[in-house]
Amino acid sequence: MKVLNVLYELKFSGAEIMYVDAAPFFQKKGCELSVVSTAPDLGEYASYFERSGYRVFHKPHPSSKKYISRIKYYKDFIRFLKKENYDVVHIHSNSIMWEMALCARLAGKRSVYTFHSVFASHFYSYPYHLWKRWSAKKIFRCKFQTISNSVYDNELNRYHNKTKKIYNWYGNNRFYPALADEKKVKRDELGIPEDALVLISVGGCNSVKRHSEIIKALPHIIQNYPNVLYLHLGKGETEAEEKKMVNDLGLSEYVRFCNNQADIRKYMIASDIYLMPSKHEGISITTIEAMACSIPAILYNVPGLRDFNSTGENSLLIPEDHKILAEKVIYLHQNPAISLKLSENARELVKTTYHLEKNAAEIYQLYL
């Protein structure tokens, strides 16, 4: 079976990491894997796909105003699907879901679309989004999949769109708790004092992730525990603003901008508390990875993050307030027994719910 994954820019992000991690599973099932980037830039994660056995293509999608170019693009894409003889087109890019499902249908190929986040449309565009979902499913025979309870409920309740719920997964061969003395070893490698309170966030810099909330919380934390360090992993559009905020608040010695890293676990293991103050998520892969490493998590109580506590107390779920975030960081630091219990609960959750082979097997069934 030949499978083509359609993404935007190939970067250090949830879907990209998941499908690279799952490549050996799909290959054992007999899948020949390809991925196409439809963004202007191919993306720095392309090499990871290649090393995992994917064929990588770069086909930048024309802007919405270039109508003639877009028609030509879709004609070329249909020819591409036929020439390469793909069996399944797995679409991950929301902005061109309908068009890619149409291309797959006209090329005589099966298609799957994954809803990766909680989408909300304006009242004036709601009928249009409703129609796109209905026509892609009913006319183009595109199968719809959602990745979490929040995304499933959003599609069902907001758009009357019933989907197949298949949870995300993580690379359990890459993310696991610290071994004996490993935390100290990783801190030594990174030049972090053994007695420092280390906070970590992992993810692209944008207005949804809201790393600024962590930066604003730091002065309140420092008043109680001056020996604190925030490890900021990720890059993106708001990175410059975040660096400026750090400088303006005089926090340069407390924040380490680490960019994108291949070995995220090393930074996780060196940390004490994982933070995620997003506005919303589909389901956060990096939160799953932190929990797999037994790092206690403080999360804002928003769609896609509150899912982690739907079956029990697996994180500190708090209101969207940086002052409360600071208070809870100090609370967890001063209560190691509570911190340990949260991390143990979370570790059990991700081992059972976000299991790679179990969940990837359900994706494989969608391809058939």
The pLDDT tens digits for 169-228 are: 999 889 999 998 999 999 999 999 999 999 999 988 898 999 999 999 999 999 999 999
Bridge-partner residues for 300, per DSSP? 318
Asked if 300 and 276 touch (Cβ cutoff 8 Å), the reply is yes
Q: Which pLDDT belongs to residue 282?
A: 87
Q: Which pLDDT belongs to residue 301?
A: 94
Q: Which pLDDT belongs to residue 14?
A: 85
For residue 101, which phi and psi values (nearest 5 degrees)? Answer: -65, -40
Bridge-partner residues for 142, per DSSP? none
106, two tokens: 């006209």
Please determine, for residue 64, whether its predicted confidence score (pLDDT) is greater than 90. no
Name the residue with tokens 């604190």: 228
339-349 per-position pLDDT tens digit? 999 999 999 99
Using CA atoms of 352, 356, 359, 361 in order, give the dihedral in degrees to the nearest 10: -130
Q: Report how far residue 111's alpha carbon sits from residue 90's, in angstroms, rounded to the nearest whole number.
A: 6
What are the residue ranges of helices labelled H in the chain? 14-21, 23-28, 46-51, 67-84, 97-106, 126-138, 149-159, 182-190, 211-224, 239-248, 264-269, 285-292, 322-334, 336-353, 356-367
Q: Which of 356, 214, 208 minimizes the C-alpha distance to 271? A: 214
Question: Residue 149 corresponds to which amino acid?
Answer: N
Pick the CATH number of 2-165 from 3.40.50.2000, 3.40.50.360, 3.20.190.10, 1.20.140.10: 3.40.50.2000
106-132 per-position pLDDT tens digit? 999 999 999 998 888 888 999 999 999
Q: Which pLDDT belongs to residue 159?
A: 95
**Going by C-beta distance under 8 Å and a sequence separation of 6 or more, which residues neighbour residue 76?**
59
Q: Report how far residue 249's alpha carbon sits from residue 189's, in angstroms, rounded to the nearest whole number.
A: 28
What element of type H or E holds 194?
Answer: none
Asked if 324 and 351 touch (Cβ cutoff 8 Å), the reply is no
Q: Are strands 55-58 and 88-91 parallel, antiparallel or unpaired?
A: unpaired
Cα-to-chain-centroid distance, residue 245 = 25
Q: Which pLDDT belongs to residue 254?
A: 96
What's the mean per-residue pLDDT of the chain? 94
What confidence category does residue 12 fall into, taking pLDDT thresholds of 50, 70 and 90?
Answer: confident
Neighbour count for residue 255 (Cβ, 10 Å)? 23
Q: Which pLDDT belongs to residue 72?
A: 96
CA separation, residue 234 to residues 141, 204, 205, 258, 322 (Å)? 37, 5, 6, 7, 20
What number is the average pLDDT over the span 292-302? 96
pTM for this model (two decimals): 0.89
DSSP 145: E
Rg of the chain over all Cα atoms, to the nearest angstrom: 21
Name the residue with tokens 């006319």: 139
- Strands of 143-146's sheet, edge to edge? 55-58, 32-37, 2-7, 88-91, 110-115, 143-146, 164-165
What is the sign, positive or negative, of the torsion defined by CA atoms of 311, 302, 364, 288? negative
Instruction: Parse the chain into domains and list their residue ranges.
Output: 2-165, 182-353
What number is the average pLDDT over the span 312-336? 94
Say which residue, 118 or 50, is predicted with more confidence.
50
Q: What percent of the chain has pLDDT over 70?
A: 100
What element of type H or E holds 198?
Answer: strand 197-202
Q: Which pLDDT belongs to residue 94?
A: 93
Q: What percent of the chain has pLDDT over 90?
A: 87
Fold match between domain 2-165 and domain 182-353: yes
Q: Report how far residue 182's alpha carbon sits from residue 263's, in angstroms, rounded to the nearest whole number.
A: 14
* CATH 3.40.50.2000, domain 182-353, yes or no: yes
Please determine, for residue 354, whether its predicted confidence score (pLDDT) is greater than 90. yes
At 349, is the secondary structure helix, strand, or coil?
A: helix
Q: Report how far residue 319's alpha carbon sits from residue 316's, in angstroms, rounded to the nearest whole number.
A: 10
